[in-house]
Amino acid sequence: MQRLIDGIHHFQREVFPAKRDLFASLATGQRPHSLIITCSDSRIDPFLLTHADPGEIFVVRNAGNTIPDAKTTNGGESATIEYAVRVLKVATIVVCGHSHCGAMAALLDPSLTDKLPAVRDWLTAAEHIREDIETHGLRPSERNDSEAVVKRNVILQMSNLKTYDFVDHACRNGKLNIMGWFYRFETGEVEGIEFGQQDFHLI
Ligand SMILES: [Zn+2]
């Protein structure tokens, strides 16, 4: 806890004064240009990664950066995406997976969640990912490749996004782009993929 309190004091002393005008301007409202959907993993910081300021990025985070499709559930993810697209009118949605993702490892090996019923429940909602990977989504040689699995998950989540009519509509009208990223935090590299493409490329 002390580490957090020391961090607040540092923020108030060193960081806030330099951005005082920015924070004051944000009191009148937010106009983020992008929504980033990423994993809860502590090794990812979407603001640090994109060198963004407060007010620039709307964020959804959960274990495995998964998005229920429009028919499956009406949870926090769909509500946040709806607000970002319909009210904030973000121009870009990024689904960002990452190297060494524990959620994807647990999805493929349920024994890892034997004593974590809530995690298992959450990942059960993402069961279609495992089915995809174990059937047609990846070549057999890629199924034990953790990077290939995370990238496939990103592609599937991009497809889930398009099941929301307001997302599909904004894309068709040229007002919204969907992109997938794979963030390799140990090297700082990011690979990207546009919706409909098959391969990731270095950004
Ligand atoms: Zn993760």
Distance CA 58, CA 107 (A): 26
Contact 41, 97 (CB under 8 A): no
Cα 97 to ligand 1 centre (Å): 7
Q: What is the pLDDT of residues 28-43, one digit of tens each?
A: 999 999 999 999 999 9
Cα 122 to ligand 1 centre (Å): 13
**What is the homologous superfamily of the domain 32-202 according to CATH?**
Carbonic anhydrase (3.40.1050.10)
Q: What is the pLDDT of residues 71-126, one digit of tens each?
A: 876 678 899 999 999 999 999 999 999 999 998 888 878 788 888 888 887 777 67
Cα 28 to ligand 1 centre (Å): 34
Tokens 């319909």 appear where?
Answer: 86
Q: Strands 177-184 and 189-194, how do they pair?
A: antiparallel
- Tell me the pTM: 0.91
User: What residue spans in the chain does CATH classification 3.40.1050.10 cover?
Assistant: 32-202
Cα 40 to ligand 1 centre (Å): 6
Cα 32 to ligand 1 centre (Å): 24
What is the Cα 202 distance to its own chain's centre?
A: 18
Contact 163, 29 (CB under 8 A): no
